Amino acid sequence: MSNVQASPEEDWDAEFEEAASIPGFKLNLETISKACGWSRNEEHKKLKEFTEEISGWSRSAVHNGHINSGDHCATGQTEEKTPVIVPYKIFVGNLSYRVTKKQVIQFFSKFGKVENIHFITDHKSRRRKGSAFIKFSSQDAVEKAVRATEEQLFYDGRQLRVFRANEKKRVLESRNTPYNIQSKLSGEEDIHEVEKREESIEQDESTHSNVNTKLQDLDDDTLLIVFAQLPLRDRVRIERVCIRWRYLALKTWQSLVTLDFKHVFQRFGEGLTDKILMTLLKKGCPNLRYLDISSSPYNMTDWALDIIGDNCPRLTHLDLSGVPCTSASLRNLSQKCLQLQRVKLQKCHGVGEKGLWWLFHQCKKLTFVDLEGNKVLTGQCFHMMGDQIKCLVLNGCSKLIDVGLEKLDRCPKLQELQLNDCISLTDKGLQNIAEFCSSLTTLKLGGLFGKTSPTGLAVVGRLEKLVDLNLSNNTMVTDTVLNAICRGCKQLRKVNISRCYQNLTTVGLDILASLPCLETLIISYLPQVSDATVKLLALSGTLKTVEARACASITNQGLVFLVENCCKLKHLDISGNFQISDQFLEEVLRSCDRGHSSHSSSLEIVLGGTSVGNYSTRQLEKASISVMQQDFSDIHMRPDRDLYFNLGSDDEYIDESTIEMDKPFGVDSFVENYLYEDDPLMEEEWDMS
């Protein structure tokens, strides 16, 4: 062979016997002779020399520990070739990226003279992979380096891994072709030429120790990247594999930035506890910025806030929704996590004014606060808010009063305010919003406001910077309110007035067409919406999203006009409209063929719950239209839900007592049938009971 490393002359026979005892190690002379096209009688002498050389190479491989007893073929055919050892070279793995060529040469000079070193780099980025090939001037230096102890190979805080360098697999296969073998046997190659050619062989990192790279052969930096991508459960489990993996797994926690427990506890009875949380955070999370435990809060206590404060001082985002917090625990947390910027405390009923006072007092960098569902909050603590607050969510805070909203004057950067279902607010509170929150761009006043009036709601029109307005299910919305809003809020892009059908008429809906920047309009569950209103809204040409679920007065003609005139329309939801038929899609496709409808992008139409059933998918794709058959409408929100359930009138009531039945009806008859042909004693016991 061209690249054979001479093995020691002593113990030659003992090594051959060791190789012959390995399962799968067998020299088939007939196979080699047929492959090379030799005559066995004429080339017997050369073949004998060749087999001796192969045996020497195999014995050398056994001596160097590169024969695997599990790699042979079970059928008795030719086994895979063992990697050829390149003389004077070693492979070094798990090198630090900071070391230089000079430092590596100096470190390995204790084993022998180093002639050359080659760092393995990525062929695209040209960055080092943490491994290298080192060439010594003698084979003795190679043996010393391979047999060195772990203490001798510890360098720059890393445990180096050293192996004999193997030839590249494809080079090895090309050298074992019949042509190369025959040329070697015929004496065409000199051993010096072979050594020169071996020096120019390209080395392959993937074959430094075995033909198949194993996971444990990867360097530490690669394993750190792999471990960092694992789910939370697997990251904890790999700590039990070995000491090295445990060290690397614990190291990944130090660089952890986000910790979320979604989809972690899926079995019944499982859940996050204070002990589990403390165990995870004790692993070392000094750089943790985002923590969300809202997906499994049922087994937590207020002690969890103390654990978070002690171990995560650099938190900026914290979600404690559903956790049974108290004012005392929130105070301790706010005193330790001073970098908080976003806090969610949804349905934390144990948090009162004092706890929030401490939170606003200590954490002056807060920009987002979510207190949805807090039943004890009145707003007296809002005067401690910092000037960085941009979003305040107070949905469902039933005890929030007007005085609390008056103290929002300390938040000049407040841009989003959500007050859905705040039933204690009056017209005074709405006036405070218009007076002290002039920078608002998003305002949500949906739900029940029993103490307000249309006059008080009309002051929303003073917010000139308003972009997103939600008045869904607000019974105080009237034509006058919409007129005031459309006159004052010229920058509105999204309006939601679904289920505001109590005091609203077509006059108020037509006023919405005067908004010059309107892009998203939600008018679901409004029987007042007619074709005339839809056509008037479509003439603006700015609409991109329209939701008109369960609007009984809309017909095919109005929707076709909307699609034809709104070139920017991307989403149209008309689910729950039984009156919409196949004619709608047919007219839309015809207008597209005639060129009347030219959308800048694809249009998505939701047709669930309509009478549309037949349509051509190819024609829709050609017209850049996609259809969804889901029905997103809610039966209980429909104004005509009585007709939907087909409830009869009182005149159609039938007295069931006048109906003659073949069998008696009632509890006695049920018991009688139940005990029929049963034990008489059990029937007697039942009667006596």
For every residue of 571-618, which 3-state class applies, written as one string?
EEECCCCCCCCHHHHHHHHHHHHHCCCCCCCCEEEECCCCCCCCCCHH
Which pLDDT value is given to residue 2? 39
Is pLDDT of 26 > 70? no
> How sure is the predictor about 238, in pLDDT bands with cuts at 50, 70 and 90?
confident
SS3 382: helix
Mean pLDDT of 24-34: 42
Select the more confidently predicted residue: 589 or 62: 589
Q: Which amino acid, residue 271?
A: G
- Contact yes or no for 550/526 (Cβ under 8 A): no
SS3 19: helix
**β-strand partners of 258:** 290
Which pLDDT value is given to residue 534? 92
Integer CA distances (angstroms), 211 to 92, 123, 128, 208, in order? 16, 21, 22, 8
Is pLDDT of 267 > 80? no
Which pLDDT value is given to residue 196? 47
> How sure is the predictor about 681, in pLDDT bands with cuts at 50, 70 and 90?
low
Is pLDDT of 434 > 60? yes
Which pLDDT value is given to residue 599? 61
Is pLDDT of 134 > 90? yes
Which pLDDT value is given to residue 230? 85
Name residue, tokens 């249309």. 454
Integer CA distances (angstroms), 281 to 154, 225, 286, 491, in order? 31, 20, 9, 46
- Helix (H) or strand (E) run with residue 248 in it: helix 243-254
Which pLDDT value is given to residue 597? 58
**β-strand partners of 444:** 418, 470
- Over residues 170-205, the pLDDT tens digits come to 444 444 444 344 444 444 444 444 444 444 444 444
In whole angstroms, give the CA distance from residue 689 to residue 80.
85
Is pLDDT of 283 > 50? yes
Spatial CB neighbours of 65, under 8 Å, sequence gap ≥ 6: none
- Contact yes or no for 406/437 (Cβ under 8 A): no
- Contact yes or no for 248/223 (Cβ under 8 A): yes
Closest CA to 496 of 480, 514, 516, 518: 518
Mean of the per-residue pLDDT values of the chain: 78
Mean pLDDT of 563-586: 90
Exposure string of 74-112, with b = 16+ CB inside 10 Å and e = fewer, is eeeeeeeebbbbbbbbbbbbbbbeebeeeebeebbeebb
Cα 447 off chain centre by: 33
Is pLDDT of 12 > 50? no
Q: Which domains does the chain have, with CATH numbers?
A: 85-222 (3.30.70.330), 519-642 (3.80.10.10), 654-688 (no CATH)
Q: Cα angle vertex 535, ends 532, 539, to 5°? A: 140
Mean pLDDT of 230-249: 86
Q: Dihedral, CA atoms, 50, 55, 60, 63, nearest 10 degrees? A: 180
- Over residues 342-393, the pLDDT tens digits come to 999 999 988 999 999 999 999 999 999 999 999 999 999 999 998 899 999 9
Integer CA distances (angstroms), 308 to 25, 314, 332, 356, 370, in order? 61, 10, 10, 17, 19
For the chain, give the percent of residues with pLDDT over 70.
Answer: 72
> How sure is the predictor about 685, in pLDDT bands with cuts at 50, 70 and 90?
low
Q: How many angstroms separate the first and last alpha carbons of the chain?
A: 101
Which pLDDT value is given to residue 684? 65
In whole angstroms, give the CA distance from residue 333 to residue 356.
11
Q: Which amino acid, residue 33?
A: S
Environment class of residue 212 by beta-carbon count within 10 Å: exposed (0-12), middle (13-18) or buried (19+)? exposed
pTM over 0.95: no
Which pLDDT value is given to residue 453? 92
Among the residue ranges 210-224, 245-259, 279-293, 622-636, the one predicted with the least confidence is 210-224
Exposure string of 464-500, with b = 16+ CB inside 10 Å and e = fewer, is eebbbbbbbbbbbbbbbbbbbbbebbeebbbbbbbbb
Which pLDDT value is given to residue 221? 84
DSSP characters over 249-283: HHHHHHT--EEE-TTT--STT----HHHHHHHHTT
- Over residues 40-71, the pLDDT tens digits come to 454 455 444 544 443 343 334 334 433 333 33
For the chain, give the percent of residues with pLDDT over 90.
Answer: 41
- Helix (H) or strand (E) run with residue 521 in it: strand 520-522
- Over residues 110-125, the pLDDT tens digits come to 999 999 899 988 877 8
- Helices and strands of the chain, counted as H and E runs: 27, 21
DSSP characters over 328-373: HHHHHHHHH-TT--EEE-TT-TT--HHHHHHHHHH-TT--EEE-TT
